[in-house]
Structure 1
Amino acid sequence: MSEFKTILHIDDNEELLRNVKNFFKDKYKVIGATSIEEAKKLILTEDFDYAFIDLQLDHSSEYGGISLINFTKRNKPNAKTIIVSAYFYDQVKEDLKQVLLDQCKKDEIYNEKDVMDTLNEIEKDYICKGDPNQNFFKAIFKKMQKLDNKKKQCFVIMPFSETKSCSEDDWSFIFRNLIKKFIEESNLNYECNRADLPQGEIIRHILDNLNRADIVVADLTDKNSNVLYELGVRHSLKLGNRTILIAQNVQDIPSDLRGLKFIIYDWKEESRRKKFQSELLDAIKAVTINPVECFSPVRKYLDL
């Protein structure tokens, strides 16, 4: 098996496809696509580390390539996406916004905040291939290096409101002080978040994070129904193996999941908090190195 990382380059300029392949040939495997249909097939069937997506692919639309951005992120959540265009970002920003707003009318879980979030992501990962002040190949390689150094994502699913064991303030304390602060200060290059959003916006945010987070920590304390639903979703997704189960009582681990590894923790005494954090750190290191340490029963059943 090749040790080269793989680039999926999507552009209808066949000469540029050849030039990019030639530029990266010593360190990367490059596979190319010239249409949206061809690109979608490769996204679903090939493993790749980076995706270079040209905005102008479908000539029936000025920005046909934009449909591939979320398609790539949903189906290949580990891939690092770079958007390329013949235009500077400021020249196309308003047009892109309108394209995304038009998609809002077709997609009920899209809203204007999602549009702005998507625009911000595009801007961060955008390169103008017609910029006379930079070498396109060096610029794209620099962007790849920056993405490689980007913090990994840890998403925590846990109760928000009062449960049998904890008040709403208790859950906030557990997340912010025991989990988030500890993980972000552990020198493992993780950013840690949970779904702190208004109710109307929460489902898309949760689904995106469950799909794209490098690891998920699931707190099953008190068998909260939302947490159990979100865990089921995570276990069915591509990164489902990278999921760490925790609870304050072993009885809160559903019988179907007791064959998996899990951490039982007590947060009310300092010594027990430190013990929990030590076990959590070991679990994060283990699942980062070898995802099958916390395997998904769904993906194991499907042999994925």
Structure 2
Amino acid sequence: MPGPGPSAPAPDAPLPDALRGHWVDTKAPRRARPFLKLARIERPIGWQLLLLPCWWSAGLAAIAAGAPFPNPWHCLLFLIGAIVMRGAGCTFNDIVDRKLDAQVARTRGRPLPSGQVTAKAAAVFMVALSFVGLAVLLQFNRFTIVAGIASLAIVAIYPFMKRITNMPQFVLGLAFSWGGLLGWSAVFGRLDAPAFLIYAAAVAWTVGYDTIYAMQDIEDDVIAGIKSSARYFGDYGREAIALCFAITVVLAGLATWMAGGGALAFAGLVAFAGHLGWQVSRLKGASAPVALALFRSNWHAGLLLAAGFALDALVPPFV
């Protein structure tokens, strides 16, 4: 008897962009695997990229406040919140996109289009994750709670953007970069220029790295009628990504300067810029696997900037 076809993979079959040999595919209970895949647990790069603007902002806030390091409790809360809210957002996205996902080779094996999970069960799972995220958010000050809730409006509209705009990556950036505001407001209970600048830097960064990610799906997206920045930029994709990354570095530099950052903060920025430049240098003629690897490498790029901010807060400036 033939096994399941590509539209109905086994629950333990790894998805194309998942980490190979991840514990979700090898050790998690089989009944739990489709839900863990809905939350993208076996693809940690999503929550990592959602977390980094939070840590950038927390680092800048520590520099501005004269603290020796970013608030550890805040950083832990941001970590938990990034994992669960990324899971909730991806589940919502998959519910909305289940018919489109069935038409794209990379996504047709996801739990919803492949029939491993019903839309009702996915919705219940999404609500449960959202309550965990709310519990995390309630640990912050009132301003940050309200600001965090406000981000849900952008999260709600994002899945529909690929149907109506050539730049859904920009809307993703507005949502994914929200932590650039929250890391600062968690310390000061308000928003100031450095927070807005690092948020804008993260938006430009997101457009750049998610355009790299979208390069994997250009052919299938054309067939399915899905819009993306990779399709929109076309043959000028490399140049557009380079521009996005250049804007990122300039805005992050302004944020660092306005927060009172010193030599170590700018050293982290230079290292971050160097990594982004390396990515652009590898893009010409990049295959889908190379594009995926470059996309994932942004976790390390962003950590360089976060480390620079943290070290700058820790080490007194040279007199």
* TM-score, normalising length: structure 1: 0.29
Structure with the greater alpha carbon radius of gyration: 1
Q: Which has more strand, going by share of residues?
A: 1
Higher-RCO chain (CA-CA 8 Å, sequence separation at least 6)? 2
State the TM-score, normalized to the length of structure 2: 0.28
Greater helix proportion:
2
